[in-house]
Amino acid sequence: MANLTSSRRRIGTTALELPTFGLGTAHLGELYAKVDEADARATLDTAWELGVRYYDTAPWYGRGLSQARVGGFLRTKPRAEFCLTTKLGRTLHRPRNPLTFDRSPWQGGFNFDVKFDYSYGGFMRSYEQALLQLGIDTVDALLIHDLDESVHADRYPGHLAALLESGMKALEELKRSADIKAIGMGINTAKALEVTARSVNLDFVLVAMPYTLLDQGTLHTGMADCVARGISVIIGSPLASGILATGPGGNARYNYGTASPEVLAKVRALQNICAEYSVSLTAAALQFPLAHPAVVSIIPGAARPCEVTQNLAALSAVIPEAFWAALKAQRLIDSDAPTP
């Protein structure tokens, strides 16, 4: 498995090179279920033992819990041996009434309220808070987090204005001073990839949902624009919130919610082709996005050691070219989509 975790690709024109496989840590912030400390530590231990050297986190993940867990683990490792990214856009604060504070949508996490702030001051405050929570004095890159109409509704224009007027100055200042090596943006929707990401100069985007084995709607728009502009892409949810790992049964999740009948039907169709060619659905989902010329890394999440082990095994599985051809013939993936 070493070659899967040690292989690196460069972010844009920067000096930052990321492993093609990393660990997303939203689950360690207790996204869908509580994760006890022993399981969280064992998951991080297993990832490290298997060669994983790229870790992505955010203040929002468990309202600080993910950063604390990731930092607590990585503080024990040589700093030159790993890559670490986190995000800006929210600052953490003590709730007005801690006893009645609602931590949702997190199932657990820390008891901190959040405030959106995309200004220079907000970014610098969030950056300092992140370093303190991590207990690590440097991160390799920072990302603008959740600047999306679907998140902010009528407050979106004001947040975008704050970013353009001063927030970007903070990121550019940190990059010029070599505090960070690259500037990114976390993306949840096709519209954000096609509109918001174009409003600022970025080195990379972290695409959580709009480009997966289930959805290539951005192939000729946002993803093509990244290629044209020399912007690298990290795929943050290659398993599409889990359904490409669990399949369509039970409480299958897609895009952080319950999967629709249409999505369930498409996953079943994908499973049928997988069965015909003896290919794991998870293997296809993890290997597919790495074939795109803009993609440098995939960072599936994990909350248990076995999930890291299974993902790395799936990434190394041999998939015949005929399988990808069959998906295109059945119109289950875009006919122009690059495949391994």
Q: Is 54 a catalytic residue?
A: no
Q: Which of 54, 55, 56, 181 is catalytic?
A: 56
CB 117 within 8 A of CB 89: yes
End-to-end Cα spacing for the chain: 18
Q: Which of 54, 61, 120, 127 is catalytic?
A: 61
234: three-class secondary structure by DSSP: strand
Q: Which of 88, 40, 96 is nearest to 66 (CA)?
A: 40
Q: Rounded to 5 degrees, what are φ and ψ at 325?
A: -65, -40
Q: Is 175 a catalytic residue?
A: no
Q: Is 203 a catalytic residue?
A: no
Q: Which helix (H) or strand (E) holds 294?
A: none
Q: Distance (Å, rounded) from C-alpha 240 to C-alpha 246?
A: 10
Q: Distance (Å, rounded) from C-alpha 176 to C-alpha 292?
A: 30
Give residue 51's Cα distance to chain centre: 19
CB 278 within 8 A of CB 247: no
**Helix, strand, coil fractions of the chain, as percent rounded to 5:** 45, 15, 40
Q: Distance (Å, rounded) from C-alpha 196 to C-alpha 177?
A: 26
Q: Which of 87, 211, 215, 266 is catalytic?
A: 87
Give just the sign of the alpha carbon dihedral 139, 21, 296, 87.
Answer: negative
CB 26 within 8 A of CB 58: yes
CB 270 within 8 A of CB 330: no
Q: Distance (Å, rounded) from C-alpha 294 to C-alpha 67?
A: 27
> So which residues are the catalytic ones?
56, 61, 87
